[in-house]
């Protein structure tokens, strides 16, 4: 899964528990950090180290090699992704990219001189969605949205919800609108998958061509909610996630049947599951 990394980083990772490794932060000529069990620590030659000066470092050239390998040795094939400052490998590992955006007439045409990578490592976590599934989908399918700040396990729970719904509702057609290629990187049963399309196009193409009963998608942005509402109004079930750190009462989009607010202290755990009237069902 992490074969695109330089060998010295791969060797160091072998000294940590990969199931507890959520993220790597690679910044050119800076100490390498990892998110390990929800805490940022440094990565040394033999695994986790406490001191900055003990950490491994990566060069600009090694960063470029990472991107080249992660792209399948064809940067051109992922150029559209890179314009949006990300790249997803064939195995579902997402690289966030920081560097210099090149514009022509107000249009972003390329990302150059990458200086850092934020590498998110996906994990299949069986049963992580049991609580959400039981409260929202077990007796009937309901449109719901998972809400939290970045990095609290929304995508992992979405992936498991896709598997559970496919397993328990075999007569339903599931479409995964997987804009960044992360939801479908592990087994999601018999779902149809549209990768790397924006939400508007994925919902439109899916509704016209694939006849879904359920659409599952990740990281809604403000301009995505119109397409979501249109699908719900058309009788579909939409299960989605979004970055949100406020109170449920203040969430502006009120057309879901369930709102799941994640615990900001425990990755992947719901702090509250609310109905459309704002009542906490937990």
> What pLDDT score does 57 carry?
97
> What pLDDT score does 90 carry?
83
Strand, coil or helix: 166: helix
In this structure, the strands spanning 192-195 and 86-88 are unpaired
pLDDT greater than 90 at residue 122:
no
Structure tokens at 205: 């193409």
245 or 165, which is more confident? 165
- Comparing 7-120 with 130-275, is the CATH topology the same? no
> What pLDDT score does 217 carry?
96
Q: How confident is the model at residue 185 (pLDDT cuts 50, 70, 90)?
A: confident
Mean pLDDT is highest, among 62-71, 77-86, 194-203, for 62-71
Domain ranges of the chain: 7-120, 130-275
Mean pLDDT of the chain: 92
Q: How confident is the model at residue 5 (pLDDT cuts 50, 70, 90)?
A: very high
98-112: pLDDT as tens digits: 999 999 988 888 898
> What pLDDT score does 32 carry?
97
- CATH topology assigned to domain 7-120: Beta-Lactamase (3.30.450)
Q: How many CA atoms lie within 13 A of 250 on its CB side?
A: 4
The set of residues, in sequence order, having a beta carbon less than 8 Å from that of 264 and lying 6+ positions away, is 148, 149, 152, 245, 271
pLDDT greater than 80 at residue 70:
yes
> What pLDDT score does 268 carry?
78
- CATH topology assigned to domain 130-275: Rossmann fold (3.40.50)
Q: How confident is the model at residue 190 (pLDDT cuts 50, 70, 90)?
A: confident
> What pLDDT score does 177 carry?
94
The count of other CB atoms within 10 Å of the CB of residue 256 is 23
195-248: pLDDT as tens digits: 888 899 999 998 889 999 999 999 999 999 999 999 999 999 999 999 998 899
Q: How confident is the model at residue 267 (pLDDT cuts 50, 70, 90)?
A: confident
> What pLDDT score does 49 carry?
94
pTM attached to this predicted model = 0.84
Read off φ and ψ for residue 27, nearest 5 degrees.
-120, 130
Give CA–CA dist 132/7, Å, rounded.
Answer: 39
pLDDT greater than 80 at residue 263:
yes
Per-residue pLDDT, averaged over 19-47, amounts to: 94
């Amino acid at each position: 899964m992490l074969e695109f990394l330089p060998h010295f980083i791969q060797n160091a990772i072998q000294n940590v528990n990969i199931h507890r490794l959520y993220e790597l932060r690679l910044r050119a000529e800076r100490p390498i950090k990892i998110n390990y069990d929800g805490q940022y620590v440094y990565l040394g030659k033999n695994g986790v180290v406490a001191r900055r000066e003990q950490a491994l470092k990566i060069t600009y050239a090694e960063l470029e090699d990472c991107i080249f390998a992660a792209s399948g040795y064809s940067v051109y094939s992922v150029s559209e992704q890179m314009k949006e400052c990300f790249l997803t490998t064939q195995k579902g590992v997402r690289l966030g990219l920081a560097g210099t955006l090149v514009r022509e007439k107000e249009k972003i045409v390329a990302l150059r001189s990458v200086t850092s990578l934020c590498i998110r490592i996906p994990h299949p976590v069986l049963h992580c969605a049991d609580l959400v599934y039981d409260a929202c989908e077990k007796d009937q399918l309901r449109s719901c949205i998972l809400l939290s700040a970045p990095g609290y396990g929304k995508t992992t729970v979405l992936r498991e919800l896709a598997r559970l719904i496919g397993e328990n509702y075999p007569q339903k057609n599931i479409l995964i609108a997987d804009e960044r290629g992360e939801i479908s990187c592990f087994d999601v049963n018999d779902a149809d998958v549209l990768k790397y399309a924006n939400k508007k196009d994925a919902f439109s193409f899916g509704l016209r061509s694939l006849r879904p009963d359920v659409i599952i998608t990740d990281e809604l942005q403000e301009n995505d909610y119109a397409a979501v509402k249109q699908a719900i109004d058309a009788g579909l079930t939409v299960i989605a996630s979004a970055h949100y750190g406020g109170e449920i009462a203040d969430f502006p989009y009120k057309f879901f049947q369930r709102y799941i607010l994640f615990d900001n202290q425990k990755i992947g755990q719901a702090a509250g599951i609310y109905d459309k009237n704002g009542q906490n069902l937990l």
